[in-house]
Structure 1
Amino acid sequence: MDLGIKGRKAIVCASSRGLGKGCALNLADAGVDLTINGRDEKITHATAEELRAKGVEVNVVLGDVSDHETQDALLKACPEPDILVNNNGGPPLKDFRELDREAILQGVTQNMVTPIELMQRVVDGMAERQFGRIINITSLSVYNPILGLDLSSGARAGLTAFLAGIARSVADKNVTINNILPGKFDTDRIRNTIVFAADKKGLEADVEKANQMAMIPAKRFGTIEEFGATAAFLASAHAGYMTGQNILLDGGVYPSAF
């Protein structure tokens, strides 16, 4: 399927690995030129070479996307993006009683403030050019709480509510804002979480992994390629009538008919 975005330009945050990389790979397959971002220089440049092999232009911006200097560098490398994929690491598992004000503010900055700041800088240009696709990677925990990830869940839920009205305000300019809510995907983050959970329970990591998969109706973790394919469709020319939506990708975990 031709997504109709060949030659478009995208900023994909936190895209050296994991779900962000999955988005970048699928956008590259669609012919989109990319500005990618990561903290690890070696891994980020390796991802850039993998993407360039698909025949697209790739800029690399190193650093924490929550830092204003990194945001400035992203917009300098790609001053008129057609597509923005907001992604960022979240706070680690922690009992809410252990969170101090500094930790709470940092979590809200990572998962709510940062994507808002980037959208502020690109949305009007997208509206003027009559094309824009903004995709926010949030979490299934927005709908289905995960004890210990309360800060991440709260910040991402705040972002979701914040953008609900904004998405409708730019829809007539062919600018869409949608959120993808991932469940359990085969990424470094979940592998670390499995080890953490296994240690707590006194289990081998492989046993804990199998136990977690058994709780998913699909009986497996998702792949970054599957995630990226959904993001690429939301970024496509065919998705202009879909905005303000929360797209669940969780293998059927969330038990709801509506």
Structure 2
Amino acid sequence: MDIGVKGRRAIVCGGSKGISRAAARRLSLEGAKVVLVARTPETLAETARSIMEESGVAVEYFATDLTLPSGRDALLDAYPATDILVANAGVPQTSLQYKDLTPDVWNWWMEAHFHSAMGLIYAYAPGMCERAFGRIVNISVSFIKFPQVSVGHSHAARLALAGAIASLVREIAPHNVTINSVLPGLINTDALHEAIRGMAEERGVSFETVEAELRSSNAANRIADPQEAGDLIAMLCAKQIGFMTGQNIVSDGGAYQGIF
């Protein structure tokens, strides 16, 4: 199926690795003019080269830190308009006890997961509305549906973003501009491997033991390939997905057992 993104600019944040890289790959294979955004120029360059070799479509990249206002401003100066935005600050999940959550820590996580996305959404959405096409996909995490211990700082910022998006979508939907969020569960990324190593070290068990426990935590009994989430993100950018907006779509192999 032609998803209608050929020739459209797609800015993919956190695009050098993991889920965002997979989304960028799929969008490029569909003919979109992808711009990868992340912190490390060397990783970005290698990712851009790899995707471009496969898709045959030029891939650009821009190195900046989207958790900083100055980093977001730099991106907006370089690319003031886009048709597609995949919002993702590229910040790995970190466990923190409640006693460690000082005001500065709360503020940093709000900057990373709330302001980083909303700053770009508010900057790009007006142009999308003027051109009567826009697809924004935010990458969140499935755990905001069932919050976990020691990651309240991350959940709070992501839930604030979900609330803000739920209000904003009603203003821009008449202009064929949508915002949806993908809430992935266990995805085979460097960030997950790092988290598993940390859990294994803390408990004094092997990496394989923790990995097996995590696999069994969902009905599919596996850890997903990043491309599974990347393809879902690309599909939400399709011209055909104009009537779905403001949704938080869980992709976690059945780990979340709620109905809504």
TM norm structure 1: 0.96
**Which residues in structure 2 correspond to 1:1-258 (within 5 Å)?**
1-53=1-53, 54-88=55-89, 89-90=91-92, 92-258=94-260
d(CA) in 1 for partners of 2:245 and 2:132?
15
Identity percentage of aligned residues: 33
Q: CA deviation at 1:125?
A: 0.3
d(CA) in 2 for partners of 1:201 and 1:66?
31
d(CA) in 2 for partners of 1:241 and 1:68?
32
d(CA) in 2 for partners of 1:96 and 1:254?
24
Contact 1:35 1:77 in 2 (8 A): no
Q: CA deviation at 1:75?
A: 2.6
Cα RMSD, aligned residues only: 1.2
d(CA) in 2 for partners of 1:106 and 1:91?
13
What is the identity, as a one-letter code, of the residue corresponding to 1:32? A
d(CA) in 2 for partners of 1:80 and 1:204?
47
Q: Deviations over 1:179-229 (max 9, x none)?
A: 111111111111111111111211100111011101111111111100011
d(CA) in 2 for partners of 1:23 and 1:72?
23
TM norm structure 2: 0.96
Contact 1:91 1:107 in 2 (8 A): no
Contact 1:11 1:81 in 2 (8 A): yes
Give the gaps of 5 or more residues in structure 2: none
- Number of matched residues? 258
Contact 2:9 2:83 in 1 (8 A): yes
d(CA) in 2 for partners of 1:97 and 1:117?
29
d(CA) in 1 for partners of 2:82 and 2:62?
15
Contact 2:64 2:74 in 1 (8 A): no
d(CA) in 2 for partners of 1:212 and 1:143?
17
Q: Deviations over 1:151-185 (max 9, x none)?
A: 11110001001110111111110000111111111
Moved over 6 A (4+): none
d(CA) in 2 for partners of 1:96 and 1:148?
7
Q: CA deviation at 1:40?
A: 2.0
Contact 2:172 2:178 in 1 (8 A): yes
d(CA) in 2 for partners of 1:178 and 1:257?
19
What is the identity, as a one-letter code, of the residue corresponding to 1:68? P
Moved more, 8-17 or 75-84: 75-84
d(CA) in 2 for partners of 1:208 and 1:224?
19
Contact 1:90 1:110 in 2 (8 A): no
